[in-house]
Chains A and B, each alone.
Chain A
Amino acid sequence: MILTSHSEHQKNRFRYVPLFAGVLLLGGCAATKGADDVNDPFETVNRAIFDFNLELDRAILRPAARTYADNVPERIRRMVHAAINFIRTPIILANDILQGDVDRAGITMARTMTNLVLGFGGTVDAASEMGVEFHDEDFGQTLAIWGAEEGPYLVLPLLGPSNPRDAIGTGVDSFGDPMNFFAEEAAVSLPRTGASAVDARSRNLDTLEDLERTSLDFYAAVRSLYRQRRKDEIKNGESQDPVPIPAISFEGQTAPATHAKGRDDSKPTVSFEEGVDKPRADKSRDLVPTGTGDGTKPDTERAKKPAGEKPNISLENEQKVPATSTGDKPA
């Protein structure tokens, strides 16, 4: 988006400023959440749209992706995937820069040059083979880095799981994508969208089918997956915080043998609630689940460290002690 100098677009862009402000405010309101709170006030509508999307997926996208995965050789599919990623470069680079992440912007540039020259114009991900892995960025993540909360969960028609922050992000990315300026005709942009959708869908056919088959509430499972994935993407996959699973005072008393016997006799008599009511000093912190394991303000965590600056607030979950390595032993 910042790569274009077209003044018309520059002007148009300012129309979005109130929207950004809106999303930041909205984020502020939605900041208080309990551990089990799902922040899904529009659940009824969301479920209806989810069902609609699911029908559409069953009718069109899933069969298309299945046909693609079954009939197109893997080598070709990898080339398509590499090309789709390559075309996204301007968006990724712009968001790397907007997030102040100089290192990742450098990686994106290096990858682009490598793949352009050695990767046959972007159809082979030569950089990945050299160990410089692909990373994605989008404006939803940038907004998160800037401090916007995700807001309530939304399911968008056709687009699927989202939230106000990510929905605006998607709009801005699509609006600012220079590739869309070069190819404004539907004849070019539609095949790209279609190819991206089929490619993405073909990469998680089994995963989603398994989830649908095995879950008691597919909607809830997808909602949880989406949120966790987004949090992880915002942190660039670097989060290693443990899930705050309470330490229960009777632990250790359940001998493995009780499983076999059907946990009849030796069930611990101390209940979990007692543990909560009378936390011991050393365990009190363990007993308070803080959100989904990422601290109270997970999305804004990286916002506090723009390029080259040390974060001025040290979040307690950020204590990554460099530990010993067991080495990269092959299996």
Chain B
Amino acid sequence: MIDRRQLLALFSAALLAIVLTIASSDADARDSGAFVKDLGDRAIEMLTSKETSKDEQERRFRTLLREGFAIDKIGKFVLGKYRRKASKGEIEDFLLLFEDYIVSLYSSAFRNFSGETFNIKRVVKTKRARDTMVITQIVPTNNGAPTKMIFQVRTIDKNFKILDIRIEGVSMIITQRDEFTTYISKHGGTVAALIDALRKKTKDLKTRAKDDKK
């Protein structure tokens, strides 16, 4: 029979274990919030200047994108069911192109920044142990209604990577997947068709951006 002291020791050990587990997972959750905050601050610092040249802007954006986002994983996800039908070479082509597409879409978005505040509201754990949801709010300078932005952050190899941004309930990754898969299904069901279209689109966006600059 276990005596009371042993029981007490056992009990406190169990309690300690529970406290430690909670503490460590809390630290994880807090960190993903800090990670998003840091990335956001740096994006504002590096990308909002209207003086920066277009190329330099894109270069900086690409650096932040690769550092903060699991861009390969995102790229594979947005192919939906067609990923399985694509050859390895096609997927590699697509991933390179997809990154270019994202860069040309969003690298100049920060130029419209006009002092909005970026608040981390809270971090929510999910049933997927490695995913946390970082809930943030963008408050416009004119005291208008704030925009709710949720970042889905995954721990990959001890690094945080953003998988998705959800703005007012609209997930970027799902919208992109729905659009791309529809495009593929309407164009012969091959990823090759999407690659062609994406190449054209990216080129088009770049030319337009250059025209805008002139």
Contact = CB atoms under 8 A, between A and B. Distances in A.
Interface of A: 35-36, 38, 74, 78, 128-129, 133-134, 213-217, 219-221, 223-225, 228-229, 231-233, 235, 237, 239-248, 251-252, 254, 256, 259, 262-263, 267, 271-273, 286, 292-293, 316-317, 319-331
Which 4 pairs across A and B sit closest by C-beta, in order of nearness?
A: A232-B169, A220-B182, A224-B178, A252-B157
B120 A240 contact: no
A132 to B, nearest CB: 12
A125 to B, nearest CB: 9
Interface residues of B, number: 78
Interface stretch (B8-16, B50-58, B197-205): B197-205
B122 A251 contact: no
Q: Could you say which of A78, A133, A228, A331 has the most chain B C-beta atoms within 10 Å of its C-beta?
A: A331
A242 B128 contact: yes
A323 B37 contact: no
Contacts of B154: 245
Interface of B: 26, 29-30, 33-34, 37, 40-41, 44, 66-67, 70, 72-74, 76-77, 80-81, 83-84, 88, 92, 95-96, 99, 105, 116-128, 130-133, 135, 142-145, 148, 150, 152, 154, 156-157, 163-164, 168-171, 173-175, 177-183, 186, 194, 197-198, 201, 205, 208
A252 B170 contact: no
Contacts of A321: 124-125
Q: Chain A's interface: helix, strand, loop or mixed, by majority?
A: loop
Q: Chain B's interface: helix, strand, loop or mixed, by majority?
A: helix
A331 B30 CA distance: 17
Given A216-B183, A220-B182, A330 B119 contact: yes
B105 A272 contact: no
A36 B170 CA distance: 16
B154 to A, nearest CB: 8
Contact of B169 (A229, A267, A272, A319): A229
B117 A330 contact: yes
Given A323-B29, A323-B124, 17 more contacts: A36-B80, A213-B208, A216-B197, A223-B182, A225-B170, A241-B126, A242-B131, A242-B133, A244-B128, A245-B152, A263-B92, A272-B76, A321-B125, A325-B122, A328-B120, A329-B120, A331-B118
